[in-house]
Amino acid sequence: MIGLILAGFLIVLFIIICWRHSWGVCTSKTDLTGKTVIITGCNTGIGYYVALDLAFRNARIIMACRNAEKANAAKEKIIAETGNKQIVFQQVNLSSLQSVRQFAERIIKEESRLDILINNAGIMHSNSLLTEDGLTTIYATNHFAPFLLTNLLLDLLQSSAPSRVINVSSHGHKIGSIRFENMKCPMLDDGNRTYANTKLANVLFTRELARRTEGKGVSTFSVHPGFCDTELFRFMPSLVQALMTRYPLMKTAKEGAQTILHCALSEGIESTSGEYYSDCKVSSTSAKGRDMAVAKKLWEVL
């Protein structure tokens, strides 16, 4: 009996090791001297490690975050570790479209170029609050904010071409659907379902953005970072958090940053603009993630 248990344990361990070795790693050596990058939600988790990596590559990084105290602490930590003093914090509340517009106005006024925009910030919590714009908080933060921000900064991205837009999505999009009435009525969906819907919106937005910017020097990709142990789960019940953070197949935040970095840095992937990436390679989406009619309609909602 003990032998069978041990054999079973070794098999499971082997599967876990093989699975972890299949995770993608960004191998790009690209230097970003003279380049400007905006990263939303990068004071902790995946976004922090993206910012840290790009700081080592000499990029000018604009940290677009809501919490000033946490963002400034993260900024100082990145500067201390990398020696790169070109790290700037700009405050923005992604649940407020007015705040997004004000942030974009500051960027356009103060920055001469924008080479990479990484729409990383996201929330997963399930509350019943509407924003000041009449949108559910999760839809406002996860979809409408990056949609609006990208469009407001599109001229700057195009004038800085070749440039890139990275939208952080999730494999959770595969259980999502776009129901336009749910964007303004939190009672029609539970939070987990709404999260999946917003991640599907990210995939569709990326595809339509690629279509609209074709030939203009802007490449865009949606990314599944992996199932990661990050603060994304901070609004979930404590029991759920405890189970998730102990799941043996979860990536660390640093591991979760790899596919984002791959899409931001790798040369020769411009021809895949609009595609969905997982583990540093193009991955399949749900059929709904390829519905260009819905993608076009989604563009007209805001």
H or E element that contains 102: helix 97-110
The closest of 202, 124, 123 to 165, measured between CA atoms, is 202
Catalytic residues: 195
The closest of 48, 99, 103, 52 to 79, measured between CA atoms, is 52
Q: Provide the CA 77 distance to its chain's centre, in angstroms.
A: 22
Given the structure tokens 């570790």, which residue do they identify? 81
247 Rama class: left (phi>0) / alpha (psi -120 to 50) / beta: beta
Angle at the Cα of 249 from the Cα atoms of 225 and 121, rounded to 5 degrees: 25
The tokens for 289 are: 């993630």
H or E element that contains 220: strand 218-224
Q: 5: how many CB neighbours lie within 10 A of its CB?
A: 9
The closest of 51, 107, 112 to 78, measured between CA atoms, is 51
DSSP state letter for 244: H
Q: 254: how many CB neighbours lie within 10 A of its CB?
A: 15
Q: Do you find a cis peptide bond into 162, omega within 30 degrees of 0?
A: yes
